[in-house]
Amino acid sequence: MTTSATHQGPELVELEERARRAWGSYRENLVDLDGIAYDHAERAEWEHLQTELREIATQRAAAACADHADGEAPAAKRPSA
């Protein structure tokens, strides 16, 4: 777990992990391809990755707003231990 992750709620930690998995899936789905096959697959994989990352960003913002509404400082602003 990263230092910044220790100051995040479980939902934000899970969203970080989802983003890492999305990037890993993108790489994994392209690693054995080359040429035209890579070009075609990469476009589709990139679109899928971007959709997933937008969804994660939306959920991250909602979670950060919920933390703030509960009286907690946003994750990026919390003092470190």
Give a yes or no: residue 3 inside a domain: no
Give a yes or no: residue 4 inside a domain: no
Asked whether the whole model's pTM tops 0.85, one would answer no
d(CA 14, CA 63): 11
Q: DSSP letters along 33-78, please? A: --HHHHHHHHHHHHHHHHHHHHHHHHHHHHHHHHHHHTTPPPGGGS
d(CA 68, CA 4): 17
* 18-74 residue pLDDT tens: 999 999 999 999 999 999 999 999 999 999 999 999 999 999 998 888 766 665 555
List the domain range (segments joined by +) for residue 45: 9-68
Give a yes or no: residue 25 inside a domain: yes
Q: Residue 69's pLDDT is what?
A: 67
Q: How many domains does the chain have?
A: 1
Give a yes or no: residue 28 inside a domain: yes
